[in-house]
Structure 1
Amino acid sequence: MNIEKYLKNLSNLSIFLAYNANVDAIKYLNDKDVQELIDLFDINDIKKKIEEYPRVIKSPLDFVARLIHSMKTGKPAEVPLYDDEKLQSWFNQFKYDEERMGGQVGIISNLLSILGLKKVIAYTPILSKKQAEMFVNRENLVYPSIVNGNLVLKKPIESYREDDPLKINRIFEYRMGVKFRLGSEEITTPQANRFIVASRPENLRIEIKDELKEKLPEIGKIVDCAILSGYQAIKEEYKDGKTGDYYLKRAKEDIKLLRKHNKGLKIHLEFASIPNRAIRKKIADNLLPNVDCIGMDETELANILHVIGYDRLSEEILKKSRIEDVVEGSKILLDEYNLEIVQVHTMYYIMYLCGKDNPLSDEELKETLEFATILASTKAALGNIRNVEDLKVGLGVQYNEYGDLLTTIVEELTKKPENKNYRMFLVPSRLVKNPKSTVGLGDTISSGAFVGYVSFLKNKLNS
């Protein structure tokens, strides 16, 4: 594909991003690291805890059990950490290999700034100095503030607040082929992936503060699109009496305010792992009907289907990851929530499902997916994308070995009578065998595809 032409299209695009950024403290696990963690506990206690499958990490044992489960299956996982000082101290004792920008807004805003979008307005309700320093220092990346009642867009490093706390997620990355013993069982990781211990500080609220909220119509007027994420941090209850329902109501208000003076504003919701089923259901019911596009991996798709009543299909996707089931699940979401596009990314492919009447051509839709795979392979190979020249690395990575088979399956599905009202497109991933990092690959894929999609739509409107 012509990357230069694609980037030129993006250079006339402005975007708003909310709500989550954090610092990622990353540890790369080897055989010895994992074995030492296991040896801290009784094997039977670990096995029992794995069966219990804790959805919140309240003890070191909870962490080790969920980590082993993730490594054994080779599937990514993100589990919230109970807000407790002793537990924080236990995690602080690890020697982390590096610290870098984390959170969907943080990762995506840095990437889109580097790709040369006209303006990237990134918002997170807490912005400490250390966090602000992790945003790339470029003219097109700004943070919205209120000064003397007016909306002011300044660089994040000029916008931080001294009293804001720092949110740190601990990321445990592992490669394919890591070996360790759990009693008599020898486990080898089937593929590279990561386990995230997600910080959920009590004072982090997924919201846009009131003084800025009033200016959302003004922000909506100056951008072409928005990516909203971070809803996985919403809790059912808070110590001050507020509830998840309160913050979901505010989130719906934010979307309406952004569109107040820009009815054509395209909004993408980037889904994430949400262990709390009640919150997951409420996010689906309250937010999906109010956005245009959704991005997620196949596990997250299965999790949404589970809470909206499609248990059998959800289980099939979790067990077998068959494309036929992923397509069926995507159709359900597209129809039930009146979405414009459902985008699913997995280790082996990225796929769109949309209605027959989508205004973009087949070639344009495929090109956005192709660009997304180049971004992902670049990030996987290098760990980070620092400039557009880096994309040559991703372009040089080969498609995975199942590419032709996956493409053929989708082409056959397209011909089936039950799919006559849908269009579906699949591009195989360019698979980096031993990636430097897997954190943020889904966010990279989704955002790359979405901004490409909006840029093509904008070109059509202006032609």
Structure 2
Amino acid sequence: MSLSELKAAWLENYKTAPAQLEKMSEINGLISAFNANVDAVIKVSGKSIETLIADNNLDANIIVSEGEKAIRKNEDALRGFLHCFKSGIAEEWLIEEVEVFEWLNKNVGYDKMQMGGQGGIVANVMAVCGVKQVYVHCASAPKEQGQLFLDLPNLVTTNQKGDLQQAYTVDRSAENALIHWIIEFDKGDTITINGESYICPKANRFIATYDPLNFKLHVDQNFDSRMSKEDINPEYIILSGYQMLQENLVDGTKGTERIDLSKKMIAEWRKSCPNNLLHLEVASTQDKVIRKHLIDSLVESVDSLGFNERELIDILEVIGEEELAARCEEHTNSSNLFEGMLKIYEYTKCPRMQLHMFGLYVTLQQKGFKVSALQNRNGMQLAATVAAAKAGTGAIDTKDVLLWAKNHEVSAVGLNELKALSQTVKNHLGDNDLLSTGIFENKDLEVIAVPTILIEKPVTLVGMGDTISSVSLVGAL
């Protein structure tokens, strides 16, 4: 088939998206846990930072010095900013003292607040897609956090008394907002400190994060208790937030212990709905001990895994596939990544896993999985449509926006990756029609692959992976 014929065939395949979206309103309950936070975004200039330093009598010698990538005093926040500004790089440093958090809140502020954390982003997406009841965990839920949830009655969390309440209206006022300051700067801007000038070579951002609760996977006990009740019946549980853990936590405990504790907790949540689907969104987990423990311990309990190219490579590195990981790093294409998926499938025995890469989504699952290959394809097509709407409009806050991209053609990039994948599947598993149907099945495995809609000038890419994974799975009815 020619490129134009393939695009026409996939446009026909994608016509299921509106019906799939409507089916999501048949889902009674979904839990999204664990991480929700506030992303406070501000664009700064070199001049404004110079003024901030002068007005607050900050020690310029500390700001221009090198040191540990941690924020314990006000100057450290500016030191981290300068480190990123002068190299045009992005880094995230943790704020360890509440006084620095309060100073930043007062003196730096923000241009806008937006939902941060996979758990919060997934909850908003599931609620706007029509799931009847979405339960979202918040380690902390003051008004600033609550009002980042969509104003929808089907999106709830626990209030101060432990009762379920619409998340948008919750104000656990005794709790601090968990803020990730995203401090953006522009290419070509200049800042002068201590008599030396620095020119920014590339637009980027510095993230200063005050999030002591999510960094130890703190669980609101009211939420845990409520999710264990018989009336919740969560048909889906989507997990995220483990990537913030470290092997050794500030309070002296182990990050692996927090994983084990959550595993027991989730087992209790599942009792009211034993046939539910448990999905783990892997995310970029820097600590290798935590990454290995997630794969070796938590994954044995989950039904589904979601990851992007980088996260797939990270998993390969801790399961003894360093050579393949290096090959995927050097040539990040569908062929190498699929071979990586086969290795992860073999190692973890997880019955379903999904890769979302640039231009293509790929699901590998056990034959006879409770969501069929065709259902998976339909869910993935809905996810691609919703993700394109988010990229193209900047927000998917109302249901009428979700199908904004429904008549868009799939990308040539995606079709080229699908063609290469089809050949790799043929080499490993046999002849297939992946290029036109997106589905391959044999007696053991099912492979589902969908070329995606790419938006040429996206308004936003924040939370895209979380949107794709959750809609792919929950939209596969």
Report the TM-score range of the alignment, normalised by the length of the smaller protein.
Answer: 0.7 to 0.9
Partner of 1:459: none
Q: How far is 1:324 from its partner? A: 1.7
Does 1:434 find its partner at 2:449?
Answer: no
SS at match of 2:147: helix
Could you say which residue in structure 2 is the equivalent of 1:24? 39
- 1:10 aligns with 24
Tell me which amino acid in the other structure corresponds to 1:79: E
Alignment partner, residue 377 of structure 1 = 388
**Aligned-partner residue type, residue 327 of structure 1:** F
Aligned partner (choices 258, 271, 279) of residue 290 of structure 2: 279
CA gap 1:94/1:164 in 2 versus in 1, 3 angstroms: closer
> Which residue of structure 2 aligns with residue 130 of structure 1?
144
SS in structure 2 opposite 1:415? Answer: helix
Partners in 2 of 1:398 and 1:195 — Cα distance?
A: 36
Q: Does the 8 Å CA contact 2:216/2:249 hold for their aligned counterparts?
A: no
Q: Give the match for residue 104 of structure 1.
A: 118
Q: Residue 83 of structure 1: which of 96, 102, 105 is its match? A: 96
Q: How does 1:30-429 map to 2 (within 5 A)?
A: 59=76, 60-62=78-80, 65=83, 79-84=92-97, 88=101, 89=103, 96-144=110-158, 152-171=163-182, 197-201=208-212, 205-218=216-229, 222-418=233-429, 421-429=444-452
CA deviations over 1:140-174 (Å, ceiling 9, x no partner): 11114585xxx742212454311111011133579
Structure-1 separation of matches of 2:472 and 2:189: 38
What is the alpha-carbon distance in structure 1 between the residues aligned to residue 185 and residue 386 of structure 2? 21
TM-score (norm 2): 0.78
TM-score normalised by the chain length of structure 1? 0.80
Q: Report the Cα offset of residue 10 of structure 1.
A: 0.5
1:207 deviates by 3.8
| Separation in 2, partners of 1:265, 1:133 | 29
CA drift at 1:9: 1.0
How far has the Cα of 1:296 moved from its partner?
1.5
SS of match in other structure, 1:26: strand
- Can you give the 5+ residue segments of structure 2 that lack an aligned partner in the other structure? 1-14, 52-59, 191-196, 431-441
- Find the aligned partners of 1:374 and 1:67 in 2 and give their Cα distance: 36
Distance change >3 Å, CA 293–CA 196, structure 1 → 2? farther
Q: Give me the identity figure in percent.
A: 26
Q: 2: distance between equivalents of 1:79 and 1:402?
A: 31
Q: Which secondary structure does the structure 2 equivalent of 1:109 belong to?
A: helix
Change (3 A) 1:358 1:297: same
Amino acid at match of 2:285: I
Deviations 1:227-276 (A, max 9, x none): 01111222333444333133112111122112223321101111212222
Could you tell me which amino acid in structure 2 is paired with residue 297 of structure 1?
N
| Displacement after TM superposition at 1:302 (Å) | 1.0
Rg larger for: 2
Q: 8 Å contact 2:70–2:96 — kept in the other structure?
A: no
Distance 1:28 1:398 in 2: 35
Matches of 1:326 and 1:104, distance apart in 2: 23
Cα pair 2:245 2:290 within 8 Å, conserved: yes
8 Å contact 1:83–1:202 — kept in the other structure?
no
Task: Assess if the C-alpha contact under 8 Å between 2:95 and 2:208 holds in 1.
Answer: no
Change (3 A) 1:185 1:212: closer
* 8 Å Cα contact 1:200/1:233 also seen in 2: no
Tell me how far apart the structure 1 counterparts of residues 416 and 48 of structure 2 sit (CA, whole Å).
Answer: 38
Matched AA of 1:343: Q
**Aligned-CA RMSD value:** 3.8
Q: Deviations over 1:26-60 (max 9, x none)?
A: 246899999x9xxxxx9xx99x98xx9x8767844
Q: CA 1:346/1:273 → structure 2, altered by over 3 Å: closer, same or farther?
A: same
Task: Report the Cα distance in structure 2 between the residues aligned to 1:17 and 1:32, rounded to whole angstroms.
Answer: 41
2-side partners of 1:307 and 1:92: how far apart? Answer: 42
Amino acid at match of 2:271: K
- For residue 416 of structure 1, give the secondary structure of its aligned residue in structure 2: helix
